[in-house]
Amino acid sequence: MQHLETIRKHIFSIKNRMILLGIGLGALFWIIDSAVAVYTFNEGELVTQMLVPSPHQIWRRVLVLTFIIGFAFHANYLSNKRKRATDALRASEEKYRQLVELSPDAIVIQCEDRIVFMNLAGVKLFGIKEPEQLVGKSVWDFVLPQNREIVKARYRQVQEKGEKVPMVEQRFIRLDGTQINVEVTAIPCAYEGKPSVQAIFRDVTEHKRTESELIKLRKAVEASGEVIFLTDREGIITFINPEFTRFYGYEAAEVVGKTTPRILKSGMMTLRDYKLFWKRILNKQIVKGEWRNKCKDGTLVAIEGSTNPILDEHENIIGFLAIQRDIAERKQAEQEIRKRNEELAALNAIAATASQSLDLVQLLHNALDEVLQLDMFGGMAKGMLFSLDEQNDTLSLVAHRGTPEDHPCLVNPPQLGECLCGLAVQQGQVIIANDCWGDKQHSRRWPSMNDHKDICLPLKARGRVLGAMNLRLPEDQEIIGSDVKLLTSVADQIGVALENARLFEAVSRQHERLRLLSARLTEVEEAERRRLARELHDQAGQNLTGLGINLNIIRTLMPEDVTDEVHSRLDESQALVKQITKHIRGVMTDLRPPMLDDYGLMATLRWYGNRFASRTGISVTVQGEELLPHLPPPVENALFRIAQEALTNVAKHAQATEVTITMSIEGERVCLVIADNGIGFDPSYQTKPVGDQGWGLLIMAERAEVVGARCWIESHPIYEGTRVIAEATQ
């Protein structure tokens, strides 16, 4: 059944309908002709006419039937042909529509100045969601006023002449009011039977932006102060910027498309480095470094640069980009900085060496050693240092290195103005002799003298010449101006150190004189203390003792009827005598405790501590070895007085409850420590006495200094206590 249905559908398909119609018409004619023959011409029965017609009738009917069927076949052919054409046209239109819809360019059809069609690209270009938003709108709503005459002229050309107008760049207005750059062309077309114009828009916004960026890039490359050039895959130069011409001297016509960067090779790169360079860039690596290249005129230049491979979208190398810059000034600056650093290092080394010792001879020896080790000399320099006696205007040789034994300056230094060193001191200027034999200023010579050059520099401090430094160099050694400048600075450093050493010696001598004077004053002070103690004992003490005896005698000789008031007055007088006697004994003890000579420092400190505790209520603990050796009397006196002053300060200022006095011996050093638990203070604030404060600290330091000892304070504020420490030599 399914097969029969298929045949039926095929038979009655549109393609065979005209044939079936022809066959039907032919059969109808057969019947009509049979009916006409029977009923009109009475030629027998209808059945006979239909089934068994005469030969003449058969011929006529077959002829008509053939004509009808042939016409049906022809009509069927024409119908099928037209249908095929229609189908082809419809398919072509569908393909065209698909092409239009899928076109990356915006396509807009305008009919009677109205938009009637827009593809999807046009939707995107004009910033809308669907074509219906623009269909029916006037095309002039989207043309800038200043461009309307140009657009009208182009449309007239399309409509009237039926010509395609060339593509031009214009700005159009989008639906949201923003403007876009497009390239637009137009061709004539028909839409629904009406003459229309098809406009094709291409968005060139990104192209314009890229073009603008390329223009900026090209201008930047051309204006760049760096050398920039491009090569192809084979290394042929394809582009150079103006800086390339300025730097290397080659014009673009000389190198672009004609040669490779090998014209710049200086020959200073090793073959190994050259191969490594190409291996790296062919491996798509960026190569950076510093090289020396050769200019057109043959001069060599120092450059810093990079070579970058240029890759296509498939990551294949299509060329190379080289960027280079002149680093001659930077190299020179680096060399100057390096030299300056070397000079500063030399000056620092000289300064450090000069500050290591204040002994004049040792200082100049160390300084000369450091000068001769400067890199500029390469270990080939010899030298001498002279010190000037300003009172006698004479030079004395203090230090020398590499001086021959027969050199006259070893036994007889030059006078002012004599030879190079004497001239340098006299004139206060650097004296250079490049030829020791031909220079008349080089007046001193010796039997073993060989060819050499000399540099003599005055040693100055605050404008005063204090000596001279002589440097002997090989005859072929080159000394430039910067070297002389450095040596002058070195000589000034040595001059300052020489002045400091002299000042130190003078201060040391003065300090020693002051120390001896202070020690003498201390001895005188102690002698005066003993004298006062003896006088108090021999005179005031004995007189008070005699007064007490007399008062007792008076008491025994008084009559019995003496009033109580007399006895009371007598008792008060005897008590006053005892009080004064006790006070005088205390003063005698403070002036010079007798037990300091009899029992030593430790016993005296214990006695004085107990006395201080009973008087102030502050607990005092004395720690140390009981049998300490006797110290020199001046040292014992100084340590005892320091302890006295420290305890006095505790009572006045510390607000302490406990004091610990510790004596210890380490080798030949004796250490005395007086520590309290009081409020403490910041010693850095008490730099000098103010009012009645600070004098005790100063007195303790002076007492220690007189006997060659040291005394210092350790303290912290906020109840951390104070420690007075004194160290002396046995």
Contact 137, 124 (CB under 8 A): no
Radius of gyration of the chain (CA): 63
The token pair that represents 420 in the structure block: 């190079």
pLDDT at 620: 93
Q: Which residues pair with 290 in a beta bridge?
A: 304
Tell me the two tokens of residue 683. 């010693």
What's the longest Cα–Cα distance across the chain? 225
Write down the residue that tokens 């951390």 correspond to: 720
CA distance 685 to 677: 20
pLDDT at 326: 87
pLDDT value, residue 11: 47
Strand partners, 324: 227, 305
Distances (CA, A) of 286 to 304, 329, 709, 724, 725: 14, 25, 73, 72, 71
Rounded CA-CA distance 140/676 in Å is 105
Task: Please give the CATH number for the structural domain made up of 593-729.
Answer: 3.30.565.10
From 717, 716, 709, select the one nearest 725 (Cα to Cα): 709
The alpha carbon of residue 301 and the mean position of all alpha carbons in its chain are separated, in whole angstroms, by 29
pLDDT of residue 622: 92
Strand pairing class (619-623; 658-666): parallel
Report how far residue 111's alpha carbon sits from residue 594's, in angstroms, rounded to the nearest whole number: 138
257: region left, alpha or beta (phi > 0 left; psi from -120 to 50 alpha) = left
Q: What is the DSSP string of 406-418?
A: T-GGGTSPPBTTS
Residue 366 exposure: Cα atoms within 13 Å on the Cβ side = 19
User: Cα–chain-centroid distance for residue 681?
Assistant: 44
> Could you tell me which CATH number the domain at 224-326 has?
3.30.450.20
Give the residue from 136, 140, 135 showing the smallest Cα distance to 151: 140
Structure confidence at residue 217 (pLDDT): 78
CB-CB contact of 16 with 79 (8 Å): no
Phi, psi (5° rounding) for residue 564? -65, -30
Nearest in space to 286 (alpha carbons), one of 269, 305, 303, 309: 309
C-beta separation of 134 from 126 below 8 A: yes
Q: Are 224 and 243 in contact (CB under 8 A)?
A: yes
- In the 3-class helix/strand/coil scheme, how is 32-101 assigned residue by residue? HHHHHHHHCCCCCCHHHHHHCCCHHHHHHHHHHHHHHHHHHHHHHHHHHHHHHHHHHHHHHHHHHHHHHH
Q: Show the low-confidence residues of the chain (pLDDT under 50).
A: 1, 7, 10-12, 14, 687, 689-692
- Considering the four listed CATH numbers 3.30.450.40, 3.40.50.2300, 3.40.830.10, 1.20.1250.20, the one that applies to the domain covering 379-592 is 3.30.450.40
Angle at 515 between CA 514 and CA 518, to 5 degrees: 85
pLDDT attached to residue 524: 61
From the centroid of its chain, how far is CA 283?
33
CATH class of this structure's domain 104-208: alpha beta
**Amino acid at the residue 600:** G
Q: Tell me, what's the pLDDT at 14?
A: 46
In this prediction the pTM is: 0.41
Instruction: Say whether 593-729 and 379-592 share the same fold.
Output: no
C-alpha distances in Å from residue 538, one per residue of 271, 528, 532, 548 = 110, 15, 10, 15
**Distance between CA 356 and CA 612 in Å, rounded?**
47
430 phi, psi to nearest 5 deg: -75, 130
The separation between CA 294 and the C-alpha centre of its own chain, rounded to angstroms, equals 35
3-state SS of 211-266?
HHHHHHHHHHHHHCCCEEEEEECCCCEEEECHHHHHHHCCCHHHHCCCCCHHHHEC
Domain spans in the chain, listed from the N-terminal domain onward = 2-95, 104-208, 224-326, 379-592, 593-729
What are the CA-CA distances from residue 140 to residues 123, 128, 132, 134, 240 (Å)? 17, 17, 17, 12, 48
Model confidence pLDDT, tens digit, residues 192-225: 778 888 888 888 877 778 777 878 878 877 778 8
Contact 309, 284 (CB under 8 A): yes
Query: Reduced to 3 states, what is the DSSP secondary structure of residue 393?
Result: coil
